[in-house]
Structure 1
């Protein structure tokens, strides 16, 4: 029987790890601090053991056809994937596919191994929602490449109740601060839309919540363009709008205005040190405390027009709060990773370097689990 090698028991790892153990899989858990891993798994019974993390320990324990799961910081993924290939083991992570990971595709095909990525929340569940919407639309009687297509996908990790800063941190704010200095590329009005300063692209975005319409702030992040092909919208479809971005509470832009001003005027020579100082200050003021509840909102929307008339318009909306099973973020990320691990073991995932699967059966499985975890999960047909 293949073993699962689960690397890392950090904030977003535990619910999915527990799920695999409780589902009867044989798991070796690796963590730098063995005692922390033990504490995280108190009360969990099953076929697992905990060892101190090192690549040497992984190489010693893993064999061909095992599955290695990296819940480690992103800089570990490629070395772990390379080691997995040398062992003959499959690999799973929730992170975006880097160029270095992509470069392992041909080798993994040759070795008949899966290197699965982008199977968390965002990226992950958002991909599943996107695949479901595009497949649904293409099967409809209004599908035509001549229509105009608007695709919007926004995700946000939020506090349960908005504070004066409209945000809380579950880990170091440094990553969020550095992201504010990153360029995004999307499509708006059928043109490439490049944003160098995210705060300059913030706009209001209403969501149809159970209690009525609620406004949030959204902005594009990263490079959305490659996902047109990933979502199979590249086969001649006219794209009027295509955005993957971040969602925040209304008021976030104003609350962060001083941060934006400082980031915008940072001297490159001292930028790293200054960002670390800002990060430490924000962590002290706005980090989650014990027993505080987090919230995740994810929405993916596809609107189609023929001329000026909307002829197809559907939207997924997920709203999840943390609970006794773990934080909302941890459950949505790690339980999706666990599904990917089981899909690899069941030989349901194509070989090579891949992102979240687009096969209908697997998409439904991912979305059903997200529904079970969420407090509110709905597919809205705006024209019904």
Structure 2
């Protein structure tokens, strides 16, 4: 009997757990969900006979190792900083590991050990990163296979509120980790535009966002992701004059978020004295950046309220996160929406062409979100393929090789995650 161990049962785990419960039911496997919040994990598995929930403090090495030792494959949906400990346990116990997070230096440093032990570690196997890599590479190889020489690559992905649930001036609701929303763009961004390397720091990312029109949805804004340049050789697009990976939002979001960033209210490093501190006093630096066009957005968020900020807050980022969680929360019947757009400029037989590949996925409600579905399904599908020996690679990977992305994308399509392509 195969046993899958999942660390984490938060927002992004809902669809993954549902998929894996279906897998275990048909194959006689077992799913173990390890989570510090045991009632949360128990609610997600809902008494399924092939699953069990376990309370765990993942920082306790002995307890973590004991769980890993009993598994055939491990999936981590923990915050990125906690993946390293899980990775060490997987190495010590000879277990494969999948995560949806960016491949960072700490995991990369384990590459030789992973290969020597004959293990398969797969990072960046979610939505963005994840489905974006896999779908883009399929699209790129398709164009190149018909003689196209690609000179421009733009890839946009966003977790948005669905139009039918869009009822606030931010045109945004929290469908994933709110901390990631607060800190989005904090590392700045690097990309290539018309042959030039462009570097932007955090304060400038939201100031002049790009624009893209999505049929049936309208105009969306984009801001560049952290380091697009590192993916140029991985995608085999060294000759491309333009290469950029971005995050999508509705334009009003960027318009309102830019002054919040400039005012330093996303800072998670500087301690804040919350004793008798009101939101209005905390947000005072905003006033020099605010005009009438966005004041309503900031008032809706509660930035100028006379109420006291949470006493437990340690930084401005904590205070802002509390506002997002309370003012931009999804209601039970709300639906979110994932939009992904790949735009390729290329030359074929001496003529210029543009090709687009687009994806729209809507959630069911505030728990079964499009975000959870598109983050979780790639992990679940890859786990099954590894355990059934349909993916036999070893070593440290992200999903940029056909042996990974071809079978995963086929199963995603069977699960209703389908792209539409257009060339002109």
> Does the alignment reach a TM-score above 0.5?
yes
Q: Say if 2:219 is the partner of 1:199.
A: no
Task: Classify 1:372/1:65 alpha carbon distance in 2 versus 1 (closer, same or farther; 3 Å).
Answer: closer
Residue number in structure 1 paired with 2:45: 41
Describe the SS at the equivalent of 1:239: coil
What residue number does 2:151 align with? 149
Q: Secondary structure at the match of 1:13?
A: helix
One of 219, 226, 231 as aligned partner of 1:222: 226
In 1, Cα distance between equivalents of 2:269 and 2:97: 37
1-side partners of 2:76 and 2:34: how far apart? 10
Cα separation, 2, equivalents of 1:64 and 1:350:
22
Distance 1:269 1:77, change over 3 A: closer
Task: Quote how far apart the aligned CAs of 1:64 are.
Answer: 7.8
Structure 2 contact 16–379 (Cα < 8 Å) conserved: yes
Q: Shift of the alpha carbon at 1:306?
A: 6.5
Check if 1:351 corresponds to 2:394. yes
Structure 2 residue corresponding to 1:280, chosen from 306, 322, 325 = 322
Question: Is this contact kept in 2: 1:195–1:201, CA < 8 A?
Answer: no
* Equivalent position of 1:133 in the other structure: 139
What is residue 23 of structure 1 aligned with on the other side?
23
Partner of 2:78: 72
Shift of 1:18: 2.2
Which of 90, 93, 117 matches 1:87?
A: 93
- Structure 1, residues 338-372: CA drift from partner, whole Å, max 9, x if none? 01111221331421110114216742532551573
1:184 to 185, 189, 193: 189
Report the TM-score when normalising by structure 1.
Answer: 0.87
- Tell me the SS of whatever aligns to 2:264: helix
**Match in the other structure for 2:309:** none
C-alpha deviation, 1:32, in angstroms: 1.3
Give the superposition deviation at 1:12: 0.7
Alignment size in residue pairs:
369
Contact 2:267 2:315 in 1 (8 A): no
Out of 96, 105, 126, the residue aligned to residue 120 of structure 1 is 126
Structure 1's 380 and 103: CA in aligned 2 closer, same or farther, altered over 3 A? same
Cα pair distance change 1:240/1:26, threshold 3 Å: same
Match of 2:102 in 1: 96
Change (3 A) 1:332 1:318: same
Deviates more, 1:252-261 or 1:337-346: 252-261
Shift in alpha-carbon separation, 1:189–1:6, aligned structure 2, 3 A: same
CA–CA distance in 1 between the matches of 2:115 and 2:132? 26
Q: 1:274 to 1:362 in 2, by over 3 A?
A: closer
From the superposition, tell whether residues 368 and 267 of structure 1 become closer, same or farther in structure 2 (CA, over 3 Å): closer
Residues 156-210 of structure 1, C-alpha deviation per residue, up to 9 Å, x if partnerless? 1111134301222235644323224321000001111111121134021112x2x
Shift of 1:38: 1.4
The alignment's C-alpha RMSD in Å is 2.6
Post-superposition offset of 1:250: 2.8
Q: Distance in 1 between matches of 2:226 and 2:114?
A: 27
**Structure-1 residue corresponding to 2:7:** 7
Instruction: Report if the CA contact (8 A) 1:96-1:118 is conserved.
Output: yes
Which one is further off, 104-113 or 61-70?
Answer: 61-70
Say if 1:267 and 1:250 are closer, same or farther in 2 by CA, change over 3 A: closer
33-42 vs 358-367, which moves further: 358-367
Partner-residue secondary structure (3-state), 1:281: helix
| Contact 1:116 1:353 (C-alpha < 8 Å) held by counterparts | yes
1:58 Cα shift? Answer: 3.5
- CA distance in structure 1 between the aligned counterparts of 2:386 and 2:81, rounded to whole angstroms: 23
Measured at CA, do residues 58 and 330 of structure 1 come closer, stay the same or move farther in structure 2, by a change above 3 Å? same
TM-score by length of 2: 0.80
Distance in 2 of aligned mates of 1:339 and 1:268: 38
Q: Distance in 1 between matches of 2:205 and 2:250?
A: 15
